[in-house]
Amino acid sequence: MKLFFMSDIHGSVYYLMKALERFKDEKADYIVLLGDVLYHGARNPLPKEYNPKRVAEVLNGYSDKIIAVRGNCDSEVDEMVLDFPIMATYSTILYEGKRLFLSHGHIYNEVKMPKLAKGDVFIYGHTHIPKAEKIDNLFVINPGSITLPKENNPHTYGVLEGDIFTIKDLDGNLFKNISMVLYG
């Protein structure tokens, strides 16, 4: 099974469409949305082609392939226009013997980690900064933001296939050689 991770769409239909092109090219099985799907939030600028209604329509076409968690810019009313649940603070996926703990990052993060077992994988968004490292026997991964990257990073997404998590830019290029073997 191949998983495609994206975070922090913030209502940009432009960057969503670019990311979905990558999803198709990657031939992934599921899309994992790590929050902040429809709205840009008060701290962020309006992203390119900001159109939350269209973002909802496009994502609804993939609803049977989406696993999502709530971001700090997501609200209950979003579930009225989305055909998939989005209000969970976190979710877990059992993947090839590993527990993937999914969160946006505004509640659970590196400062306030959930209780996880040695070798588990903590995957979050929120910071808009790509990251993949091992911290205290846990794998900690952030695929970055497809729409509003920070700290001069490119627009990025993540892919988990087999035991390798890879972060790529929206052209499909490996980002700074960030690749993590989850079983090593």
Question: Which is more confident, 179 or 165?
Answer: 165
Length of the chain (residues): 184
Res 121 pLDDT > 70: yes
Question: Which is more confident, 111 or 23?
Answer: 23
Res 184 pLDDT > 60: no
Q: Are 169 and 152 contacting, i.e. CB atoms less than 8 angstroms apart?
A: no
Q: What is the pLDDT of residue 41?
A: 85
Q: What is the pLDDT of residue 137?
A: 85
Q: What domains are defined for the chain?
A: 2-181 (3.60.21.10)
Number of neighbouring beta carbons within 10 Å of residue 30: 17
- What distance in Å separates the CA atoms of residue 83 and residue 87, rounded to the nearest whole number? 12
Highest mean pLDDT among 16-30, 32-46, 89-103: 16-30
